[in-house]
Structure 1
Amino acid sequence: MSTVWLITGSSRGLGRALAEAVLAAGDRLVATARDPGQLHDLAERHGDRVRLAALDVTDEQGAAKAVALALESFGRLDVLVNNAGYGNVAPTEDTSLAEFRTQIETNLFGTIIMTKAALPIMRRQRAGHIIQFSSVGGRIGAVGRAPYSAAKWAVEGFSEVLAKEAGPLGVKVTIIEPGGFRTDFAGASTQLHEGHPDYDTTVGAAVRFQRSFNGAQPGDPAKAARAIIEIAALDEPPLRLLLGSDAYRAVTEAERTRREADEAWRSLSLSTDFDPDSSN
């Protein structure tokens, strides 16, 4: 029996590449986007194996309807992919609280809302796989992307808890951590602001790099989609999956630096334990 997927943010980028790959593999799909008109070609090419849904992931009723559509159309939901998200670049000081809230609503609460909509079904099925798109920015603080990194770090913590709670019920969780891929994430999907001149060597440099990097990213979206389909078929998929050589290098170096720092401060860290022999 073919697998039933629901993918948020299916209209472009890695979400679109994954939607194409899922359907090419013969599986069934609920493809969602804010504007489902961008998905009509999928329905034309794949007929009854695809359903389209308009979805803003921050809308609880919309999330419930998208999940219900999978049940009504295909009888079950096997894989939820929380892919929808975006991240602008600007200094923290020059980023309004409204912008923080908007990015965190989409990148974090959108993931939570969709996950909560799908969990009861997967719990009853005693089977399912929730695939959460994080980022290298969910393991390493990305200069100029404070709202995005804050949300993605939270997605990582949320997903670790989810894996421990839902794993015994047959629900698997995988956190996807892409590096740079040749999508429009670094182009039309991103607003770039250098901000105050005092941040030129940090955020300004990040903005200039982002502009030069667009179209030159090392990651191939089609290969990423194949990797995700591969781990979705596993009985014991990884909790985390880095995608791309740049992601692997950056996170490996960051984790090494963290371990060294923890060891350097080990004595002070351990000194804060309660001393049972103390008379105080």
Structure 2
Amino acid sequence: MSGIGSGAAEDPAPFPGEVRLRTTADLADPRLAPYTTLTDAALRRDADAAHGVFLAESSPVVRRALDAGHTPRSFLLGDRYRETFADVIAAHPGVPVFTGPDQVLTALTGFHLHRGALAAMDRPAPRSVTDVLAGARRVLIAEDLVDHTNLGAVVRSAVALGWDALLLTPRAADPLYRRAIRVSMGTVFRLSWARTDGPLEDVLRSLRAAGFATAALEVTDRALGLDAPGLEPIRTADRLALVLGQEGPGVRPETLAAVDAHVVIPMPEGVDSLNVAAAAAVALWELRARRADR
């Protein structure tokens, strides 16, 4: 006998449309292609684009993706999570459901599937910057923020603190990469986002023409603390766009020259920065939109 697993006299009663993965030979099913090479982020970006999919990981995140209206192509479940996911499967008849023991799924994905479930979802069509900005009062701009974990954490804070939209430069990480989705706890499905095209300085000029104040979170000689009286016009702006830079290099000089203000988090002497995700959470709270009656 070859492959992993034996078959299964103990196989549970099947779901409609269920495909049991008993051995590594079963992993050749072409419908499983979206679940391969999950541990390689560089490969995933190309693979996801080629397949037109994104992957939602863990039962709560899969449910949030479905609640947001995303269309599943297939589900992948470890045996111990079959019954807790039965309602989702019943609500999506005709969608293939792949199930199997942990060792077979590990051979497929490259990691131990201990988070309950994976789902391959149709990747939504890209949205335009104009569409995403319509009606937005608080917009976050991720300039070359390439780390998926940081991006996921930033998205989670933005949604929790009432920000309306996210713009990403072409080099920034993919909000629909599975790690970014998981770290955001699925809140990315509640945030409008789009990628910019062309120099960010041009985007900032367009934002200013549309009535946005613009700021960058960066330590510079002209930066004002988030609690500084001189920052009041930025804090109270009806519409505001805030730029975050890449961990390490920070916001590009060209971008810093194009915004209205530079802002920093006041810190004790000898401490000059926080992780970008932690810094973003502080700034997003302090610069959140205020209600007119407060």
TM-score over 0.5 for the alignment? Answer: no
TM-score, length-normalised on structure 2? 0.30
TM-score, length-normalised on structure 1? 0.31
Q: Which has the higher strand share?
A: 2
Larger radius of gyration: 2
